[in-house]
Amino acid sequence: MNGLLRKLFLALSRNQVLRQRLPRLPFMRRAVGRFMPGETAEDALRAASALGRTGIASEFTRLGENVTQPGEALAVAEHYLDLFGRIRDAGLDGEISVKPTQLGLDIDEDATFAHLDRLAGRAEETGSFLWLDMEDSTYVERTLALYERLRATHARTGICLQAYLRRTAADLERLMPLGPAVRLVKGAYDEPAEVAVGSKREVDTSFVALAVTALRAGRDGALRLGLGTHDTALVEQIAGHAAAAGIGRDAFEVQMLYGIRASEQRSLAAAGYRVRTLIAYGEAWYPWYMRRLAERPANVVFALRQLLP
């Protein structure tokens, strides 16, 4: 059943007609409010300030992807350049994550790199950090190439890797000489069997193996690791492997989405884990929200409740 729901919601995320119509419906706007504090940067900054008072750091992403005009990509870059300054001025421990297609990867790879280069420079100037988000498997190679170029001159940059892709172990090994920062996630796109493992058990096994490999490789500080998962059992399992290797739980960061398992996030922070919450905002939330529903049946139950008066 879970597999069917996943396929359904991933299909819905790609439907252009529904993308235009469903976000206008009141119940949809109520439901998405669980996962994002609002549509503006001001909303996101207020949420981050509240999280900071509980010892939880933040990461910001403005929703949207696959822009088709150079001017749109420039506007996104300018938005993030300004946001870096606003994070600094607010005194927040906040970082930024951006999708390369939001900066024009479908249009011009060199122009996309130029935008990323400016953003990475601004991250360094403000004492923050820039993450490259990972999109579906057709973008992986180009995103890795962008990161390799960027990391050559900008240390305060990281990249997302997806545990369900069969190639990810090789990709992690490929990045090791750079001393990278890696956010490891399970993966939320509908991928063919030849490029991705399918069962939850396989994905979980891959996630743990990749995390342990990264922790062992980075025990001397050569690699920063973020665990992008809401599965606290996996976090504890990875922490157990780390402890057996003499690595403390402060050697990695737990990165969860805003509004999901908030009490667990606070508990992890109180237990000595470093926790960072990804705060999404913006008007282009429909495909992102559908992928969140595809990830966990509990999210679907919550969404269905919004249909009730």
CA distance linking residue 134 with residue 188, whole number of Å:
10
How many C-beta neighbours within 10 Å does residue 233 have?
A: 9
Q: DSSP code of 119?
A: H
Compute φ and ψ for 94, nearest 5 degrees: -130, 140
Please tell me the chain's helix, strand, coil percentages from 3-state DSSP, rounded to the nearest 5: 55, 15, 30
Cβ atoms 255, 51 nearer than 8 A: no
CATH class assigned to 37-222+232-284:
alpha beta
Residue 257 C-beta-side C-alpha neighbours within 13 Å: 22
pLDDT per residue rounded down to tens, the chain (309 residues): 456 655 655 565 566 655 555 555 565 666 666 778 888 999 999 999 999 999 999 999 998 888 999 999 999 999 999 999 999 999 999 999 999 999 999 999 999 999 999 999 999 999 999 999 999 999 999 999 999 999 999 999 999 999 999 999 999 999 999 999 999 999 988 899 999 998 889 999 999 999 999 999 877 777 999 999 999 999 999 999 999 999 988 899 999 999 888 999 999 999 999 999 999 998 766 666 666 666 655 555 555 454 444
State how far the alpha carbon of 239 is from the alpha carbons of 58, 179, 267, in Å. 22, 21, 15
Q: Which positions ≥6 away from 38 have C-beta within 8 Å?
A: 44, 47, 281
Q: Which positions ≥6 away from 225 have C-beta within 8 Å?
A: 181, 182, 184, 211, 214, 215, 218, 251, 252, 253
Terminal C-alpha separation, the chain: 27
**Token digits of residue 238:** 């990875």
Cβ atoms 273, 245 nearer than 8 A: no
CA distance linking residue 214 with residue 222, whole number of Å:
10
Distance of CA 266 to the CA centre of its chain: 19
State how far the alpha carbon of 24 is from the alpha carbons of 27, 32, 35, in Å. 9, 12, 17
Q: Which positions ≥6 away from 111 have C-beta within 8 Å?
A: 70, 73, 104
Please tell me the predicted confidence (pLDDT) of residue 65: 83
* Residue positions annotated with a catalytic role: 133, 183
Cβ atoms 84, 57 nearer than 8 A: no
Residue 16 C-beta-side C-alpha neighbours within 13 Å: 0
CA distance linking residue 39 with residue 62, whole number of Å:
9
Cβ atoms 104, 112 nearer than 8 A: yes
Compute φ and ψ for 58, nearest 5 degrees: -130, 160
Cβ atoms 277, 57 nearer than 8 A: yes
